[in-house]
Amino acid sequence: MKKSELISWISKLEEMPQGDVERVLDRLGAVVVTELSGGPGEVSLPGIGKLKANQRNERAGYNPKTGKPIRIPARITVKLTLSQSFKNSLRG
């Protein structure tokens, strides 16, 4: 589903102008990025699950093409854990 389709669908369900729905979705995205970009953090998406950010430390690795050792820099990873109710609704 594309963003425009999601906006249209929510707009009809909630009887809200599409512009208002789009602003809410954009702000939701901004809040999630702000909360998770600083490192360890968690954002709950009711009815869906939790987005959890973790700091991954720098580590040694190998270039698969050359076999030479390389340094893999530290970074933030994000994981989505689905809620049990969401999993159950997908199963039918």
Render pLDDT for 1-22 as a digit per residue (tens, 0 to 9): 999 999 999 999 999 999 999 9
User: Model confidence over 67-87: pLDDT tens digits?
Assistant: 999 999 999 999 999 999 999
Tell me the CA distances in angstroms from 27 to 20, 23, 33, 43, one per residue in order: 11, 6, 10, 14
* Residue found under tokens 């789009």: 22
Q: What pTM does this model have?
A: 0.74
